[in-house]
Amino acid sequence: MQPLARIHRSPLLGLALVSIAAANSALAAISLDKINLPQGFVIETYAEGVENARQMALGDNGTLFVGSRRAGKVRALVDTDQDGQADQQFLIDEGLTMPTGVAFRDGALYVAAVNRILRYDNIEAQLANPPEPVVLSDAFPSDAHHGWKYIAFGPDDKLYVPVGAPCNICDEPGYASIKRMNLDGSGIEDYALGVRNSVGFDWHPQTGDFWFTDNGRDHLGDDSPPCELNRAPQAGMHFGYPYCHGADISDPEFGEGKSCSNYEAPAQALGPHVAPLGMTFYDGQQFPAEYQNQVFIPEHGSWNRSEKIGYRIMLVRLDAESNAKTYEVFADGWLQGQNEWGRPVDLLVAPDGSLLVSDDSASAIYRISYRP
């Protein structure tokens, strides 16, 4: 792999040196030989030194945009020779507040920086000299706790933006929801309610139904409650937080007088404290037919469990009626014993049908392909 080109908005040499050092550090940490995949699948490094890589979005010309949480930066990666590895990296912006979420539409890059949604117009023609962003909206809460956001455009041409609960467990109006808005920033409205902290969602390629992951509350023990994969085919559905968790777990602080049967049960209960993030439906053509329209979920991994869990990519298989049939491991190995060397965050189906995986711990992007 050729070294990535470091193109920064700041000319300071120190920034370039920091980027090179980060790349070298990430390179030393990557251990793809430890990753287990089904027979026929291969994982390779697409890009290194992508500091704290979180959500990804693909431009019309093939540019891969990557947000970050701790780094405060948004980057763009380009594979100029189409060999499956990025050979150029551009810094689109820096100094932002947790710009985790990125989305692309009509030539523009959209970035979620906690309370603000920013838009960078005609971005792929200006990667080396990015424009100043347009502030599409600054109407979202500025809380740091669960304030970072995953964003995406729905089939209704609206931008979906989650607003996580500003706590582990609390009942605060205006939070714990997934909202949507028009392309000009107007018309912000609730789509799904009772959602503690969703950092990943997608729409079924055939039915158009909205699906999302949700991170369960902490401090109810190692094995409770489960994290969730949920299905919301229509607006206004309530998924239980903070009153109920999973299908039938009443919250000890907020569940009194509430019946869990009044809220939507998960389409699939996930592992406890696994921290599911950027789920996606596989709609490419490269993987075998058995993976078509199935749900892939990166589990970022637990932080408050006596034995760690997660640090893997899971597969939820659906039947013809979109009911979950199985919840199984697709890729693991980022966790070795009780020590992790990487943490998968987001997934993106590339135009060639391969699956891109971001890793905010190893500061890398991986590419999973199928080679029968």
pTM: 0.92
pLDDT at residue 188 in the model:
97
| Nearest CA among 138, 135, 137, 164 for reference residue 150 | 164
Per the structure, the complete domain to which residue 142 belongs is given by 5-370
The H helix count followed by the E strand count for the chain is 1, 30
Output phi, psi for 79, to 5 deg.
-100, 90
Q: DSSP readout, 269-319?
A: EEEET--B-B-EE---SSS-GGGTT-EEEEE---SSSSS----EEEEEEE-
Low-confidence ranges of the chain (pLDDT < 70): 1-29
The three-point CA angle 191-193-196 to 5° equals 125
pLDDT at residue 154 in the model:
98
Residue 217 sits in a domain whose CATH number is 2.120.10.30
Residue 27 CA to residue 359 CA, distance in Å, equals: 12
pLDDT at residue 355 in the model:
98
What token pair was written down for 353?
Answer: 């049908």
Residue 238: strand pairing partners: 193
pLDDT at residue 27 in the model:
42
| Nearest CA among 25, 32, 26 for reference residue 333 | 32
How many domains, in total, are found in the chain? Answer: 1
pLDDT at residue 4 in the model:
37
The three-point CA angle 270-205-238 to 5° equals 50
Residue 193 CA to residue 237 CA, distance in Å, equals: 6
pLDDT at residue 372 in the model:
87
What token pair was written down for 308?
Answer: 């760690």
Cα separations in angstroms, 109 against 102, 114, 121, 177: 7, 16, 7, 23
pLDDT at residue 16 in the model:
34
